[in-house]
Structure 1
Amino acid sequence: MGNRILVTRSSMPPMEEYFEEVAPLWESHWLTNMGVEHKKLEADLKERLGIDNLALFTNGHNALECILEAMALPTGGEVITTPFTFASTTHAIVRKGLTPVFADVNPVNLTLDPESIERLITPRTCAIVPVHVYGNLCDVDTIQEIADRHGLKVIYDAAHAFGVERVNEDGSSDSAASFGDAAMFSFHATKVFNTIEGGCVCFKNEDLYPLLNQWKNFGITGPEDVEYVGGNAKMNEFCAAMGVCNLRHLDAEIGKRKTVAERYWDNLEGTAGVTVFRPAKNIRHNYAYLPVLFDPSVFGATRDDVFDALDKAGVGARKYFYPLVNDYACYRSVYSSDRTPVAKKAASQVITLPMYADLALEDVDRISNIVLGCAR
């Protein structure tokens, strides 16, 4: 890769720590099918997130598909969601025989706008799948009030939000895992917390635990019984062990990421035509991404101009999320991004800058100077 700065870099524990964690596998030869490391990680995550029910998966996408299946939502039912997300969110809805309905986002943190949700509810609506974009929490209380009033399930795509907490007035806190009927997390290698590949679902109804484990194991319900047409989505022991190790270092990693994020914000905030996203004061953030919006009519350069300048200087950035899901080739014959104008504008202006725990502050300054040098 030379001296190129990548948009992200995976966090890893010390090599010796991981080797020590996986060494017993050479004695047991139990490499998958919910072994010791799998059980250890489930327990550690429940303690960390402050929740009672959690199931591990091979990745966040399979986790989302399985919770949608386990909720027994009606075939063809409408699910209100956001177009400002990764493909996985919408694909999971469609692959489960449901119909996505795209609400717009709010301009403050680019999460689902509750007023837009309310306007789209019909007798066919069965669920809401909001996304905590970039680790920014949705308006969870208003969304829950809407869902309760209309009898809808709420399943959060919390792929970006591991470790994020809302601090309440009494000093207590609620993790992103605690909102809605369920919340899916991704543990992909690029996430703040990773298991190399992996994911989980946290959920309120404890009766879902055996059902989710059956769905992720071919629908097998007993030694001689297969009741569902399930798939194979079991996390293996090596991935679980990576999670056990990485979880021990999570607070230190988030602390480093916070330092990087604050340096970016200090460098860029206040520049005409540039929007950054500092967390709300009552949020303990994970600093998963460093999104920036560029308004070309004020900044004097487009998002693409900035992207190209960074690329020319050997800096990786990402247009995340662009294009909108409702502009994908597989969806645009049915949907129009013109119906979600706030999301469409954000998609045309957004870049995520390099962000990882060990990114040197002098590199942050260099990246910031390249960005600011694009202004006209």
Structure 2
Amino acid sequence: MSDNKIFVTQPSLAPLEEYVEILKGVWERGILTHNGPLVQQLEKDLESKLNLDYMTVVSNGTIAIQMAIKALELKGEIITTPFTWVATVSAIKWEDCTPVFCDIDPDTLNIDPAKIEALITDKTVAIMPVHVFGNPCDVETIAAIAQKHNLKVIYDAAHAIGSSYEGRSLLNYGDISATSLHATKLLNTAEGGGCITTNAALDAKLKRIRFFGHDENKDVVEDGFNGKLTEVHAALGLANLKYYDEVLEDRKKKYQYYRELLNCIEGVQFQDVKVGETNYSYFPIIFESEEQLLKVEKALNTSDIFPRRYFYPSINTYTKVVAYQACPVSEDISKRILCLPLFLNLEKEEQEKICKIISSL
């Protein structure tokens, strides 16, 4: 067992020498950015691996959400979840749209589809659900609501690489899915993200937006910005992609082992996967009270184990950023949820130690 501190996550990385080997080509070509050959290869390899129609890789997941909003030319209210990272809301606001919060299902932790329609107004232009911790949203119900009210659907799929619904990658759903390739994700480029769509024209538009609105003739044909992924980051993604299946399978085994160890503990609730299959990228547990959570967190920290309170507090309470809108379920869950350490190099004995501490309190 490692004597080091155990944090909530650590990046899954290919052997350094394999990354360096790919980088040699970058140095030889002297191309570091702007849709270089490795960026193009990463897009093709991800499309093939995940069975996606079109993917545009970009500099980070937040930019991916902004690009999705811009590509769909949205101006107005976007219904989203309060149980998410602040970047979801930041991207909406940066594109001059207004976030409207729809409370969550207390079991799945995803946006509650039954509460969406009551929030639709004549200003609503889109729904932006989040596949929380990689757990698939009810994509069929959300699609039906969007079609009924002529709304676009953008999925914040930051956590969702490796998740599926009815045998298809979860990234294939919605008008656009915006994902993350950040260091904490199952597959990473250190910093990075991507926009996925099934529409060829929309993909071409996303690629123009990524490079200041330039078309293939270098004419500026629309409003864009700098969303480019570098060759250095793409190289890391290509190196890591080789180990994607191994990382995904390992995460599932560790997730299931946590469940086995913690199932008998009273007062602990697990996230419910109601549709599709999650990618097991996080292991959240929900306590009966915040007091219980804080007690567990303190005991783990004392043993140099550092879980994280994803997502705390509920985003609708960030009153310096948004006007408060009551979401009692999200506000309650956010106070009682803790994500346990989960990553490739986490050892079985370390999982057992974590669960022993939790069960002893």
- TM-score tier after normalising by the smaller chain length: over 0.9
Deviation at 1:108, TM superposition (A): 1.6
1:370 matches 2:357: yes
1:288 matches 2:281: yes
Deviation at 1:216, TM superposition (A): 1.8
> For residue 29 of structure 2, what is the aligned residue in structure 1?
28
- State the one-letter code of the partner of 2:251: R
Supply the distance in 1 between the matched residues of 2:273 and 2:314 (Cα, whole angstroms): 23
Task: Count the aligned residue pairs.
Answer: 360
Gapped runs of 5+ residues in structure 2?
A: none
- State the one-letter code of the partner of 1:28: R
Supply the distance in 1 between the matched residues of 2:295 and 2:72 (Cα, whole angstroms): 45
- SS of 2:306 mapped into structure 1: coil
> For residue 240 of structure 1, what is the aligned residue in structure 2?
234
2:337 maps to which of 350, 358, 363: 350
Supply the distance in 1 between the matched residues of 2:248 and 2:332 (Cα, whole angstroms): 30
Summarize the alignment of residues 213-252 of structure 1 with structure 2, pairs less than 5 Å apart: 213-221=207-215, 225-252=219-246
> For residue 135 of structure 1, what is the aligned residue in structure 2?
134
CA-based RMSD: 1.7
- SS of 1:220 mapped into structure 2: coil
Q: Please report the TM-score for the alignment, with normalisation by the length of structure 2.
A: 0.95
Deviation at 1:220, TM superposition (A): 2.8
Supply the distance in 1 between the matched residues of 2:144 and 2:219 (Cα, whole angstroms): 40
Supply the distance in 1 between the matched residues of 2:253 and 2:53 (Cα, whole angstroms): 32
Deviation at 1:223, TM superposition (A): 5.8
Deviation at 1:210, TM superposition (A): 2.6
Which piece of structure 1 moves more, 265-274 or 144-153?
265-274
Q: Please report the TM-score for the alignment, with normalisation by the length of structure 1.
A: 0.92
> For residue 335 of structure 1, what is the aligned residue in structure 2?
324
- SS of 2:44 mapped into structure 1: helix
Q: For 1:140-185, what per-residue CA distance to the aligned partner results, in whole angstroms no more than 9, with x for missing partners?
A: 0000010010000000001001011123xxxxx1111111111011
Deviation at 1:212, TM superposition (A): 1.5
Supply the distance in 2 between the matched residues of 1:142 and 1:224 (Cα, whole angstroms): 41
Contact 2:135–2:279 at 8 Å: present in 1 too? no
- SS of 1:226 mapped into structure 2: coil
Deviation at 1:84, TM superposition (A): 0.1
Contact 1:256–1:358 at 8 Å: present in 2 too? no
Contact 1:257–1:287 at 8 Å: present in 2 too? yes
- State the one-letter code of the partner of 1:302: Q
- State the one-letter code of the partner of 2:341: P
Deviation at 1:243, TM superposition (A): 1.0
Summarize the alignment of residues 196-211 of structure 1 with structure 2, pairs less than 5 Å apart: 196-211=190-205
- SS of 1:233 mapped into structure 2: coil
1:313 matches 2:303: yes
1:273 matches 2:267: yes
- SS of 2:215 mapped into structure 1: strand
| Moved beyond 6 Å, runs of 4+ | none
Supply the distance in 1 between the matched residues of 2:204 and 2:35 (Cα, whole angstroms): 13
- SS of 2:269 mapped into structure 1: strand
1:88 matches 2:87: yes
Supply the distance in 1 between the matched residues of 2:319 and 2:21 (Cα, whole angstroms): 47
- SS of 1:202 mapped into structure 2: strand
Supply the distance in 2 between the matched residues of 1:142 and 1:229 (Cα, whole angstroms): 33
Contact 1:78–1:98 at 8 Å: present in 2 too? yes
Supply the distance in 2 between the matched residues of 1:287 and 1:341 (Cα, whole angstroms): 26
Q: For 1:249-300, what per-residue CA distance to the aligned partner results, in whole angstroms no more than 9, with x for missing partners?
A: 11111111112111111111232210123645x6443211010000039xxx
